[in-house]
Structure 1
């Protein structure tokens, strides 16, 4: 799935308060409204896209609204400001790279590399995307197809298209799911999704399936539910269409000397890798940067500021972020791929004991930085690269050592 996941490990659980939908409304009556909406709103749109009445009826046969999905706005109600927020802490970025996840994705990935060597090689020949990168994404998204995907996509997207905070978006995804069923890529009973409507082993939203799903086994269908070859071809096709640069790596772990400011992080501050090297940045373990990479553009990435490993990443790293908008996700995928193919171990740099702040605390810091004129990328409580480097710039301007990561002591200092 092309999910817009955030950069942090744990998010606060937000309990939205609606106008007591279960008590104020009869769910049976709402179900009838849903069925009317399907017939009068969804069906005409689906028909214009070539969906048959038979396919439409099969998709919604016996489908009931799923009242357990998040962000629902039943008819006659309005979403309200959360009355209560359980302020879950976010942990150290290092928790994303826990032992079980890394070892499991690596171990099974090596088996899959051998089992699907032909499909991986064919996908790389067509797109330029290395097989190890495809495996990294496949493992992260669905455990190489081993993680059960249980939801009925038509129930999920129907419910969210009918009554959610992003109803138009999910309605468009619902129409796309019906087009997929019409084309026969998978029987309707096999079209299982996540709770958000993401499909199959690569976790594509339906509109992305229509754009990027590929036939890897030659049967003229892109079955990302049951076909490993189609799954591999689809992931590679997505990355290729999003600009993967053939022959370039995703990035390299590096040592950043104290003379190089952590405020230089970000995709808008790129330099040739040879220039980063001239500033004193070196690969870990004494390795040299590949000669062909020295001429290419690279970007400083410090996901925990000075409290963790540092990297020089290439434009391909940001192609991985097009799959999932998280620095940690893209880093995990690239790292697992390297472990699978090259037998690499853990990062050389150690993740520090940072994190443990509430998102509201980080948001308060962000608002204070904004008032000073810093661009933090929005006061959302998530310390992305703009927030990290803004913290570093504030630290440097106030005579503090630049760590480029939020710390509890900064809250009071920024409020002065």
Structure 2
């Protein structure tokens, strides 16, 4: 290849990287306003390069890189909420509950969040600290601020990340994250560290990378700040009546648990609910449509969902928390349903949007709103109403186009 050709092919990447360097340099005034010194800014940004392999980027001349096919959405529930994983983590969680008893008691007293819930978040997020996060946080947030889908959000995260380094809260070597910039034992974005961080061990600093008490208390504080209600369970597993209308399984349809019970929903294993529990407002959740377990979800379910928007994530955390105090798996087994490819689910969402049954985002994920819209479509098309994306529904939609 001639020198000119080589230069030509190298130029776009070089130009983009030069523009990236310029972009990072342009953020100095914001960093300065946040209290970052010039010396820190120069040291941490010197030689910083973008990572164009990250998901969720909008790169000129290339198709958008979507968020990765997260396990929450492409695996069927039985694969995600895997019994072997839950059993292993629950056994370890019980040991950690003893080991960190003093800190966990303090967390329960101060925040009203059960020890088992914060331990389950830690277990799910980083396998109780064993999982080494793969990315350099500063590089991730700088790249996302430069060419990500959520540039403004990550511009803030970049400044906050520099502030963390400037204050010595974490060393650059330990400042590892997920592809989305979440860091520490319990996976906080830099801005969340400042919003929710707690120094529970009393050493004068909030350390979510090495201090288990600080990380777990910070997770509890985040839940409280998002609306956690003390003394309320995350959900109740129930047996749904045979004639259940799965289209009501959306957060907008909320009624006291007593009303659900009167409609034929029965708590599993003969569980008795107190008057206070029956007065709790709850929504119906059927992650596999009419197949698999059914749940009545409380306000606290949706608080955990703000930690991670996937229903399967919340089920994993809630069930893992339960298993630390009781050995019982879900009373109703997951069915052997197969999940369609994301592209097929997205095609369904487009069709449902066109005919006015769906108003949420087109993401190829069979979440609550998608399942309810599928059920509404099945009703109108005279199909079996199971609120689950299947080949039969896909065929029916293709034929109706």
> Same fold judged by TM-score > 0.5?
yes
Q: 2:280 aligns with which of 296, 318, 326?
A: 296
Q: 1:407 aligns with which of 381, 390, 401?
A: 390
- The residue correspondences of 1:357-396 to structure 2 (distance < 5 A) are 357-375=340-358, 377-396=360-379
Say which is worse superposed, 391-400 or 381-390, in terms of deviation.
Answer: 391-400
- 1:141-189 CA-to-partner distances (Å, cap 9, x unmatched) read 1111111124221222223323334333322210011122223322333
Shift of 1:54: 2.5
Shift of 1:376: 5.3
Instruction: Tell me: CA distance 1:36–1:398, structure 2 relative to 1, closer, same or farther (3 Å).
Output: closer
| Map of 1:34 onto structure 2 | 20
Shift of 1:27: 4.6
SS of residue matched to 1:252: strand
CA distance in 1, matches of 2:255, 2:38: 56
Say which is worse superposed, 309-318 or 370-379, in terms of deviation.
Answer: 370-379
| 2:23–2:146 Cα contact (<8 Å) kept | yes
Off by >6 Å, runs of 4+ in structure 1 = none
Shift of 1:353: 2.1
CA distance in 1, matches of 2:121, 2:350: 35
How many residue pairs match? The answer is: 390
| 1:58–1:188 Cα contact (<8 Å) kept | no
| Map of 1:309 onto structure 2 | 293
| Map of 1:104 onto structure 2 | 88
Shift of 1:113: 0.9
Instruction: Tell me: CA distance 1:163–1:394, structure 2 relative to 1, closer, same or farther (3 Å).
Output: closer
- 1:16-43 CA-to-partner distances (Å, cap 9, x unmatched) read xxxxx9935265554444333322x121
What do you get for the CA RMSD once the two structures are aligned?
Answer: 2.5
Say which is worse superposed, 352-361 or 405-414, in terms of deviation.
Answer: 352-361
CA distance in 2, matches of 1:22, 1:347: 60
Say which is worse superposed, 256-265 or 266-275, in terms of deviation.
Answer: 256-265
Which structure has the higher relative contact order (CA within 8 Å, separation 6+)? 1
Shift of 1:333: 0.3
Shift of 1:252: 0.9
CA distance in 2, matches of 1:210, 1:81: 31
Q: 2:215 aligns with which of 228, 231, 234?
A: 231
| Map of 1:177 onto structure 2 | 161
Q: 2:55 aligns with which of 67, 70, 74?
A: 70
TM superposition score normalised by structure 2: 0.90
| 2:74–2:365 Cα contact (<8 Å) kept | no
User: Where do 5+ consecutive residues of structure 1 fail to align?
Assistant: 1-20
Say which is worse superposed, 149-158 or 289-298, in terms of deviation.
Answer: 149-158
| 1:72–1:160 Cα contact (<8 Å) kept | yes
Instruction: Tell me: CA distance 1:378–1:26, structure 2 relative to 1, closer, same or farther (3 Å).
Output: closer
CA distance in 1, matches of 2:359, 2:395: 18
TM superposition score normalised by structure 1: 0.87
| 1:177–1:206 Cα contact (<8 Å) kept | yes
User: Where do 5+ consecutive residues of structure 2 fail to align?
Assistant: 1-6
> Is residue 2:272 matched to residue 1:281?
no
